[in-house]
Amino acid sequence: MYLTLKVKLNPDRKQSNKLLTTMEKFNEACNYASETAWHNKKFGKTGIQKLTYYDIRQKFALSAQLTVRAIGKVAESYSNDRKTMHKFNRRGAVVYDQRVLSFKGKDMVSILTLNGREKISISYGDYRPFDISKIRGQTDLIYEDNNFYLMLVMEVGENEVEYNDDVMGVDLGVVNIATTSNNEVYKGTKADEIRERYTSLKSRLQSAGTWSAKEHLKKLSKKERRFKRDLNHRVAKQLVKRAKDTSRAIALENLNGFRPEATVTKAQKDRLGKWAFSELTDFILYKSKLEGVPVIIINPMYTSQQCSECGHINKSNRQKQANFRCKTCGHRENADYNASKNIAHRGAVSLPDVLRLTSIS
């Protein structure tokens, strides 16, 4: 499988200015190619290149390969949408390939600018080993919060998936981010504190309406997004590790937003609406592939209303968000825990029989 890695560049002041100038000229070239393509109704890479290649070389002083990359960026954007003319941000991504960007060991990169190549140091976290030989395809240079980053695509191996009869059900909830069928709870307390603080601050900034307030809002939104992404990464990592350590598959609901049958308040719906459950699910899926942990996606219908002991389904079984009490057998427990057990059961039923491991006696 392929993962996108974000590697930070550490240019000095002169190098930073050269990168910015290159980035701005590259995107000016993209806008020129886009406008020409739109007016001539030529949206394929070959057609755009015939119309704009030599003009871009002269007007924007781009190298041959950067010119080709700019044209490719425009053609790719029009492959998805041809209803309007596309415009590119002056500091949008610059697309590089191995001809204009190369690695000099694990801590240095040689990158082409309008003023020639620059050798710039890079830094990378220790989440996953950085293997240069595994880098595939093009690399995007992006500019965020006054920093430059390389977005690299790296091929990583997947462990062989082993199917076992035991399944860990995971309920993605409102109050708790995740609850497992072993009653392990990943609380959202810290997330709530951050959310409430950001919501209050955003409200004050929106009321101010000044330019500086709007800029602050943009920075705040990015900071909140990074926090959520980091927390989703950590929760997904712990869930997958727990499943692998206990030789179990993971069962998840096919959730695409809020479950309508859950009994929650408007404030709790607001909390759920502000959490990226699809992102958390994606993280669990790709981390499971890397670790060889099977994932079963089940139908979410009635998992929060069904009794995990007797199977009775009734909307009234879930009295409150946190409380479950079966109207038939009287079984009581935390509602999220009850739902996670239902998810685990459905996941076990859905496991392919032919792929289950059987013990040899």
Is 160 buried (19+), middle (13-18) or exposed (0-12) by CB count in 10 A? exposed
* The two three-digit tokens of residue 338, written as one number: 């009850």
Q: How high is the pLDDT of residue 126?
A: 57
Q: Where are the domains of the chain?
A: 2-155, 167-355
C-alpha 236/C-alpha 240 separation (Å) is 6
Closest Cα partner for 120 from 97, 98, 102, 145?
102
- pLDDT computed for residue 156 by the predictor: 67
Q: Which ranges constitute the DSSP H helices of the chain?
A: 13-40, 45-60, 64-80, 189-208, 211-245, 266-273, 277-291, 335-350
Residue 47 Ramachandran class (φ > 0 left, ψ -120 to 50 alpha, else beta): alpha
Q: What is the CA radius of gyration of the chain?
A: 26
Specify the pLDDT at position 219. Answer: 79
From first CA to last CA, the distance across the chain in angstroms is 36
Tokens linked to 293? 């942990």
* The CATH fold of domain 167-355: Nucleotidyltransferase; domain 5 (3.30.420)
Tokens at 200, concatenated: 């209050």
Contact 176, 187 (CB under 8 A): yes
Which tokens go with 339? 């739902």
pLDDT in the model for residue 119: 96
Spell out the SS3 assignment of 155-219. Answer: ECCCCCCCECCCEEEEECCCCEEEEECCCCEEECHHHHHHHHHHHHHHHHHHHHCCHHHHHHHHH
Instruction: Name residue 176's beta-bridge partners.
Output: 187
Residues 155, 231: Cα–Cα separation, whole Å:
24
Burial-class residue 296 by CB neighbours within 10 Å (0-12, 13-18, 19+): buried
Average pLDDT, consecutive stretches of 10 residues, N- to C-terminus, the chain (361 residues): 82 96 97 96 94 95 95 93 93 93 88 94 71 77 92 72 77 85 84 71 77 79 81 91 90 65 49 65 88 87 91 86 88 92 89 47 33
Strands 2-10 and 116-123 turn out to be: antiparallel
Q: What are phi and psi of 304, to 5 degrees?
A: -90, -10
**CB contact at 8 A, 118 and 111:** yes
Residue 263, pLDDT score? 46
Looking at residue 203, what is its pLDDT?
76
CA atoms within 13 A on the CB side of 107: 0
Distance CA 354, CA 328 (A): 36
In the chain, the amino acid numbered 118 is E
What's the CA gap between 91 and 77, in Å, rounded?
Answer: 16
**What is the rounded CA–CA span in Å between residue 271 and residue 268?**
5
